[in-house]
Structure 1
Amino acid sequence: MDHLSNQNLKNITCISIETDNNHRQFSYFTIDELIILYQHSNVIERSLYELMTPVNQVKAYIDFEYYIDNNLDIKNSHIGPICLLKIFYFLLNFLDHNDQHNNDQIAHILQQFLILEASTSEKISYHFIHANPSILFENNITLGLFIKAVIHYSLLLITQHKCSSFQIDSISQKYTISDLLILLKPYVNTLRTCCIQCQLYIGYITIAEFSHLLVLDKQNQLTLAVDLNVYCKNQQFRLFDSVKLGKTNPLPQDEHYDHRKLSYTTV
């Protein structure tokens, strides 16, 4: 991996190819070569991952997922993903906030994101990639720090807000994300149903919307629908229209949110 990190990757991409459950082969491809590989391979045989190292600049990307059976109280599975998109559009475009009606606002936001879906019968799963090439992070570790800071700040704002349905005694000590989730666990249903008018980011996000990012894991412990474990050194990110080895669900462009028909050359 260290050898790969020291390569000049400006015009090429390091791809790992999954060959079995324990092994991956690493190869370098130009964009043109990668397109040819896509055009001449079947989706079910395409187990490709991009290697992201600390020397690679990256666009913002976010993984969203939760298990359906552990979160049957979530009646509308689109609230969480839309909330997440609105938050990061707001933060990545803080100098360009136009007053728009909600539907127009969402349509405008969707123009900036590539949305890939990996949902199965067991879980809701999306990958969001901010497609604006003028906004890059130094590497995926720096991106991870940014994402975690946003999540931490948002959770802290929720615990500090007061309304007729929600109030937690003033907190003064320093809390981690895990600490804040423990504090909020008894109130998630209240936040979703009663804090519809409580603003988190004024004009953009309500606390009721954000609370749909607070979900139960398989052990019924409160966690985030945002995967914070994908921002590490030498992270491997599954590519568009690729499958995990032995699985049959590729990572296609989502058609519910994103109605653009993109080819391999544009993705």
Structure 2
Amino acid sequence: MSVTTNNFYGAKGRRKIYHISKVLDENVKKLKSDKIPKDFRPRIDGPSVGWKTFFRQQEAFSYARRKSSDLHVFSFESESLGSETGQRMFLVASYPVFWHYYRQLDQQKKTHYELIPEGSVCKLYFDLEFPKENNRNCDGSTMTDIFIKYVTRWMEEIFKVQCSKEHVLSLDASTEKKFSRHLIFQLKKTAFQDNIHAGNFVKFILQKLKVEINKLKKNLSDVLDFDETSFISKSDNSSDEQTVPCVNRLDSQRRSQEQDKNNHKASKVMDRFTEEELLSMVVRNKNNEETLFCDQGVYTKNRNFRLYQSRKFGKSNPLVISEDNLYIPPKDEVMSYEHLIFNDSLIANIEYSPALRILQFALVCQFSNRLSSGNVEAKTCGKAEDIVEGFTKSPYPEIDNFISSTLKTDSKAGRIRHWTYFSQGELIVYDIVGYRYCHNIEREHKSNNIMLLADLKRGVYYQKCHDPECKYLSYKSPDKSIPKEALPSFYFDESFDEFDEGVDDMDILNAALEMEKTIDDRINENMDKT
């Protein structure tokens, strides 16, 4: 009796062989479809040809600084890292080398971001977005045109910089559900000192816009259905001055004079817009709350900003040139049009020259007397030596262990990715990954990470997060007590407590609380995606 293959392996064995064969066929098809990229040809006068990947951002930055000044850091999301969004790898390459390989990638593999380095001179950029379902009457293109006009008026008023829509590269990643637009200003021989200064400028002009819109809402309250409290932040209730923290306050007389100048400049800008145009920049977010359609959370230290032609991991909407874009890059005999657009889309890609003008907009409470020349007086909140940060254990491991213990649930456990210690206010800020529960929305954020702040003076900790909407509301969770045995004071004799009673240094405490508002400038990565 002859034994056939089917009889020998049986039904179970045949199914297993079929499954293996199917997997092999799929892998063969995938390998055939993957293109082998052409190598970059090095030139004597050319850029660095190195290309190196890292699991940690700080290692990538250290390598780039150590090897060559023309190396830059990018990040990307990959299938090999698992399905959880927010976890990325980092790569270091020069701009020409990166583009050479990036342009050869299949479209679905382009999930890359530019890392805007801390302290790097940069372009002015914006992220505009709103959910279409809650804003059915909004025309995103028209709103973008009005917004560009609004920004250019302020650039002229503050910095005496002339620009228009033709100077703005407009990239679009909109879907049926969401309007999404990136704007990158191409200002000739002009750049901001870094993206923190750019962010201060953006927050200032949007604060002025909010104040003006609130005035209009009061005047039109009988006609328009506005929720008067949903749009006004805590800082809007008292005055319309810039709401950036400043330890060294101006005296009342000077503050009044500067406020008058400030209001006069705002009036000159607002007078160029109709009420309808100003109100058109208000949208409703996914929670149906009123807000501006410009994301103010994209101006943080070592910011990830999505690259031209890239999409978010698992999504199918790449960032492409918008249909109403008017910016045309200068012609080049060597570079293709797409290469030129890619270069111009990079926020930190600034050509240095003696004629380069650096714009500053530092942390101040008011404009300074130097405003007419395009500068803003710098007032810092704390010295650099008052701040310590790292990735491993902080100076207070007992606090680290306690914070780590609060990040565990039955199904998962978060961890401390980075800590920052502010000695002036005895405040430790923990940047958390793997655990995103936010007390504001009473659930986990889908992609934005949270922070836990330990106030060693008061013996409490609380939660804040990177989500733009929570940051817009200045959300801070209720205080929770830190166990006494975890606090540094536990190791001191209680007999010394009588010397501390009633002599709390409120100035230092207030400075620490104000410093919280600029905490995004000191943490190593904001994982809020754009």
Which category describes the TM-score, using the shorter chain as reference length?
A: 0.7 to 0.9
Cα drift, residue 92 of structure 1: 2.5
Closer/same/farther in 2, CA of residues 26 and 162 from structure 1, 3 Å limit: closer
Instruction: Verify the 8 A CA contact 2:171 2:182 in the aligned structure 1.
Output: yes
Amino acid at match of 1:227: D
Of 73, 91, 101, which residue of structure 2 is paired with 1:27? Answer: 91
In the TM superposition, 1:186-205 aligns within 5 A as 201=269, 204-205=272-273
Closer/same/farther in 2, CA of residues 96 and 140 from structure 1, 3 Å limit: closer
CA distance in 2, matches of 1:256, 1:110: 10
Residue aligning to 1:88: 151
CA distance in 1, matches of 2:141, 2:268: 18
Residue aligning to 1:185: none
Residue aligning to 1:49: 113
Structure 2: runs of 5+ lacking an equivalent: 1-56, 223-230, 238-266, 330-336, 343-530
Moved more, 23-32 or 88-97: 88-97
Instruction: Verify the 8 A CA contact 1:59 1:133 in the aligned structure 2.
Output: no
In the TM superposition, 1:190-229 aligns within 5 A as 201=269, 204-229=272-297
Closer/same/farther in 2, CA of residues 164 and 142 from structure 1, 3 Å limit: closer
CA distance in 2, matches of 1:85, 1:45: 32
Instruction: Verify the 8 A CA contact 1:86 1:204 in the aligned structure 2.
Output: no
* SS in structure 2 at match of 1:66: strand
Cα drift, residue 135 of structure 1: 2.4
Structure 1: runs of 5+ lacking an equivalent: 98-107, 168-175, 183-198
* SS in structure 1 at match of 2:210: helix
* SS in structure 2 at match of 1:263: helix
Of 238, 250, 256, which residue of structure 1 is paired with 2:324? Answer: 256
Residue aligning to 1:243: 311
Residue aligning to 2:140: 77
Amino acid at match of 1:17: F
Cα drift, residue 153 of structure 1: 1.3
Cα drift, residue 234 of structure 1: 1.9
Instruction: Verify the 8 A CA contact 2:284 2:290 in the aligned structure 1.
Output: yes
Residue aligning to 2:104: 40
Instruction: Verify the 8 A CA contact 1:65 1:124 in the aligned structure 2.
Output: yes
Residue aligning to 1:138: 193
Find out whether 1:115 has 2:148 as its counterpart.
no
CA distance in 2, matches of 1:135, 1:259: 17
* SS in structure 1 at match of 2:78: strand
Closer/same/farther in 2, CA of residues 177 and 139 from structure 1, 3 Å limit: farther
Closer/same/farther in 2, CA of residues 155 and 45 from structure 1, 3 Å limit: same
Closer/same/farther in 2, CA of residues 69 and 32 from structure 1, 3 Å limit: same
TM (norm. structure 1) is 0.75
Residue aligning to 2:214: 159
Cα drift, residue 12 of structure 1: 2.6
Residue aligning to 2:77: 18
Cα drift, residue 214 of structure 1: 0.9
CA distance in 1, matches of 2:173, 2:235: 28
Amino acid at match of 2:338: S
Moved more, 211-220 or 158-167: 158-167
Closer/same/farther in 2, CA of residues 3 and 207 from structure 1, 3 Å limit: farther
Cα drift, residue 257 of structure 1: 3.1
Closer/same/farther in 2, CA of residues 40 and 77 from structure 1, 3 Å limit: closer
Cα drift, residue 226 of structure 1: 0.5
Cα drift, residue 201 of structure 1: 2.2
CA distance in 2, matches of 1:81, 1:72: 16
Map Cα deviations across residues 187-240 of structure 1 (whole Å, 9 max, x no partner).
Answer: xxxxxxxxxxxx872564323112122111111111120001111122100000
Cα drift, residue 117 of structure 1: 0.2
Map Cα deviations across residues 64-84 of structure 1 (whole Å, 9 max, x no partner).
Answer: 11111101232x332311111
Closer/same/farther in 2, CA of residues 89 and 212 from structure 1, 3 Å limit: same
Please, what is the CA RMSD of the aligned residues?
A: 2.9
CA distance in 1, matches of 2:283, 2:217: 22
TM (norm. structure 2) is 0.40
Q: Which structure's CA Rg is the greater one?
A: 2
Closer/same/farther in 2, CA of residues 201 and 131 from structure 1, 3 Å limit: same
CA distance in 2, matches of 1:11, 1:212: 42
CA distance in 2, matches of 1:30, 1:258: 28
CA distance in 1, matches of 2:131, 2:218: 30
CA distance in 2, matches of 1:82, 1:230: 20
CA distance in 1, matches of 2:285, 2:212: 23
Closer/same/farther in 2, CA of residues 96 and 146 from structure 1, 3 Å limit: closer
Map Cα deviations across residues 93-121 of structure 1 (whole Å, 9 max, x no partner).
Answer: 44366xxxxxxxxxx72220110001000
Amino acid at match of 2:74: I
Instruction: Verify the 8 A CA contact 2:155 2:161 in the aligned structure 1.
Output: no
* SS in structure 2 at match of 1:63: strand
Closer/same/farther in 2, CA of residues 10 and 86 from structure 1, 3 Å limit: farther
* SS in structure 1 at match of 2:340: coil
CA distance in 1, matches of 2:115, 2:161: 32
Aligned length: 232
CA distance in 2, matches of 1:123, 1:254: 15
CA distance in 2, matches of 1:224, 1:249: 23
